Amino acid sequence: MLEIDHLTKRFGTKTAVQSATFTVEKPAMIGIIGRSGAGKSTLLRMINRLTAETEGKIVFEGEDVTALKGASKRRWQSECAMIFQQFNLVPRMDVVSNVLHGTLNRRSTFTTLFNLYPDDDISQAIGILDRLGIAEQAPKRAEALSGGQQQRVAIARALMQDPKIILADEPIASLDPMNAQVVMEALRRIHEEDGRMIVANLHTLDTARRYCDRVIGMRDGKIVFDGTPEQLTTGAARDIYGAGADFSEAATSTEIGALDRADAHAAVTA
């Protein structure tokens, strides 16, 4: 379904992603983990074509995504929706209009300028908000919502695109634990109920283990782990984050509780 083939991105002399290669054969919920600067965000932005690759290829359902230009590239970006850490909503615009921005790729310039939306699209947007538990927020300005609610609005906007893939770049990094759980459960439910592929950059081992079918670990731009949550042992975590202080970035006191405590202690103190 999705093939990433030796995907590489260089910024001058710095290599942000080096020869990333993996295949996804069917819709799955995939977590990409690693320290800040490991190349996670750059990888997602290349998949969406927000950032051009230096080398390598992306193939989706037999189509070479890296060769797309113009309208074909915009079509791909609609099919491959992005969710960002900072939500990227229009703060002073009402919630339902923010969600309807997910239809911009299929609307004319005239209707976009005058904010004219078909009744069916408005009903669909409200239905998606209801599915995410925030339909009552539809008439409010986006800036009036909590961070967790704003991220669910961003998810609703992505769903309005009817994408085949949802890419989530650190979707819970700026949220408190309760809202982070709500957002991750919403993404998991979308994957299970809709059969959509979801690829999420995550900062913690615990989140990846709890919600993902597959985990990809990156370190210094390279993929150093690719397996199931059950295979994400403390030794594998050490390969991803490094020993000692490096590993502590991945393992807060809450997450260590999800590991074997003896092994976790050995990893942190190694």
| Dist. CA 239–CA 234, nearest whole Å | 9
Asked if residue 42 lies in contact with residue 16, where contact means CB atoms within 8 angstroms, the answer is yes
The mean per-residue pLDDT over the stretch 170-179 comes to 93
The mean per-residue pLDDT over the stretch 26-31 comes to 95
User: What is residue 204's predicted lDDT score, i.e. its pLDDT?
Assistant: 85
Instruction: Share the mean pLDDT of the chain.
Output: 87
Residue 209 tokens read as 């283990």
Number of residues in the chain: 270
User: What is residue 118's predicted lDDT score, i.e. its pLDDT?
Assistant: 81
Cα 184–Cα 238–Cα 246 angle in degrees, nearest 5? 85
The mean per-residue pLDDT over the stretch 175-196 comes to 95
Residues 6 or more apart whose CB falls under 8 angstroms from that of 62 comprise none
pTM of the model: 0.84
Which domains does the chain possess?
2-87+165-232 (3.40.50.300)
Count CB neighbours of 221 within 10 A: 22
Lowest pLDDT segment from 10-19, 93-102, 115-124, 217-226: 115-124
Residues 6 or more apart whose CB falls under 8 angstroms from that of 38 comprise 218, 219, 220, 221
User: What is residue 244's predicted lDDT score, i.e. its pLDDT?
Assistant: 56
Beta bridge partners of 227: 215
Give 113's pLDDT tier (boundaries 50, 70, 90).
low
The mean per-residue pLDDT over the stretch 64-78 comes to 94
Question: For residue 130, which of 96, 177, 87 has the smallest C-alpha distance?
Answer: 96
In this predicted structure, the answer to whether residue 21 has a pLDDT above a threshold of 70 is yes
